[in-house]
Amino acid sequence: MPQLDTSTWSITILSMIITLFLMFQLKVSKYYFPEDPKPTLAATPKPVTPWEKKWTKIYFPLSLPL
Protein backbone atom coordinates (compact mmCIF):
# COMPACT_ATOMS: atom_id res chain seq x y z
CA MET A 1 0.00 0.00 0.00
CA PRO A 2 1.72 3.21 -1.08
CA GLN A 3 0.52 5.15 1.96
CA LEU A 4 2.88 3.12 4.13
CA ASP A 5 6.01 4.17 2.24
CA THR A 6 7.61 6.30 4.93
CA SER A 7 10.15 7.98 2.64
CA THR A 8 7.58 10.57 1.59
CA TRP A 9 6.11 11.12 5.04
CA SER A 10 8.36 14.01 6.07
CA ILE A 11 7.65 16.16 3.00
CA THR A 12 3.91 15.48 3.24
CA ILE A 13 3.76 16.40 6.92
CA LEU A 14 5.88 19.49 6.31
CA SER A 15 3.64 20.72 3.51
CA MET A 16 0.55 20.05 5.63
CA ILE A 17 1.96 22.03 8.54
CA ILE A 18 2.75 24.97 6.28
CA THR A 19 -0.70 24.89 4.68
CA LEU A 20 -2.80 24.30 7.75
CA PHE A 21 -0.97 26.39 10.32
CA LEU A 22 0.23 29.21 8.08
CA MET A 23 -1.83 29.75 4.97
CA PHE A 24 -5.28 28.79 6.11
CA GLN A 25 -4.96 30.50 9.45
CA LEU A 26 -3.68 33.70 7.83
CA LYS A 27 -6.71 33.71 5.54
CA VAL A 28 -9.29 32.89 8.18
CA SER A 29 -7.80 35.36 10.67
CA LYS A 30 -8.61 38.14 8.21
CA TYR A 31 -12.31 37.30 8.23
CA TYR A 32 -14.21 40.17 9.75
CA PHE A 33 -17.60 39.78 11.34
CA PRO A 34 -18.93 43.26 12.07
CA GLU A 35 -21.46 43.56 14.84
CA ASP A 36 -24.98 44.70 14.08
CA PRO A 37 -25.25 48.50 14.08
CA LYS A 38 -26.70 49.73 17.38
CA PRO A 39 -29.35 52.49 17.28
CA THR A 40 -28.12 55.70 18.90
CA LEU A 41 -29.98 58.88 19.89
CA ALA A 42 -29.90 61.72 17.41
CA ALA A 43 -29.68 64.43 20.09
CA THR A 44 -26.10 65.46 20.76
CA PRO A 45 -25.03 66.13 24.35
CA LYS A 46 -24.51 69.75 25.45
CA PRO A 47 -20.88 70.60 24.89
CA VAL A 48 -18.92 71.27 28.05
CA THR A 49 -17.00 74.55 27.70
CA PRO A 50 -15.16 75.15 30.94
CA TRP A 51 -13.95 78.58 29.90
CA GLU A 52 -17.44 80.02 30.09
CA LYS A 53 -17.99 79.08 33.73
CA LYS A 54 -16.07 81.95 35.19
CA TRP A 55 -16.15 85.46 33.83
CA THR A 56 -12.69 86.75 34.53
CA LYS A 57 -11.17 90.15 34.45
CA ILE A 58 -9.32 89.53 31.20
CA TYR A 59 -12.55 89.70 29.26
CA PHE A 60 -12.77 93.43 29.96
CA PRO A 61 -10.11 94.92 27.70
CA LEU A 62 -10.44 98.40 29.29
CA SER A 63 -9.40 97.00 32.67
CA LEU A 64 -6.11 95.59 31.40
CA PRO A 65 -2.99 97.35 32.61
CA LEU A 66 -1.35 99.41 29.93
Please give the residue ranges that form the binding site for another protein (CB under 8 A). 1-6, 8-9, 11-20, 23-33
CA distance 2 to 24: 27
Query: From the CB of 35, what's the least distance to another protein, in Å?
Result: 12
Count H helices and E strands in the chain, helices first. 2, 0
Closer Cβ to another protein, 30 or 53, answer by number: 30
Per the CB < 8 A criterion, the answer to whether 24 and 30 are in contact is no
Query: From the CB of 42, what's the least distance to another protein, in Å?
Result: 25
Closer Cβ to another protein, 2 or 47, answer by number: 2
